[in-house]
Amino acid sequence: EAFREDPLVKVPEIYAGLTSERVLTMEFIHGVKIEHLNEIPSAPKAKVIATLENAVAKMIFVDGFVHGDLHTGNMLITPNDKTGFNLVLLDHGLYRELEERFRTSYCLLWRSLVAGDVDGLTKAVTG
């Protein structure tokens, strides 16, 4: 649901009737692992990385959840005639909802780290 309107991010459909507590059944999407993105000329590395950054930031800071198993094995790149590529995020069996207080502190932590703001960093880790 969170990426339904995003033209660059694709999440496979989950087949609820074939899914149980121990088995997640998803739509098959053919693609290449993100570490082999050079195989898709229409997927410039900088744009793929920016798309991944934006997707993770949206999950955490906007939608308030985190993918519990996000690693390169769960990311594919597929060609797309309209956008050049799609970033496909796989394995949606483990998510954690993040409380707003945590999200606010985490945002301050990252903003402070990037800006070199010691006071902000101190506030982020001490509350």
Residue 29 lies in a domain: yes
Q: Is the pLDDT of residue 42 over 80?
A: yes
The three-state secondary structure class of 80 is strand
Residue 3 lies in a domain: no
Q: Is the pLDDT of residue 93 over 80?
A: no
Tally of structural domains, the chain = 2
Q: Is 91 a catalytic residue?
A: no
Q: Can you give the pLDDT at residue 92?
A: 75
Cα distances (Å, whole numbers) of residue 71 to 42, 74, 75: 22, 6, 7
Co-location of 75 and 118 in the same domain: no
Burial 34-53 (b: 16+ CB within 10 A, else e): beebeebeebeeebbeebbe
Residue 1 lies in a domain: no
Catalytic residue, chosen from 69, 81, 91, 117, is 69
Per residue in 63-77, pLDDT (tens digit) is 999 888 889 999 999
Per residue in 95-104, pLDDT (tens digit) is 899 999 999 9
Please give the residue range of the domain that contains residue 27.
9-93
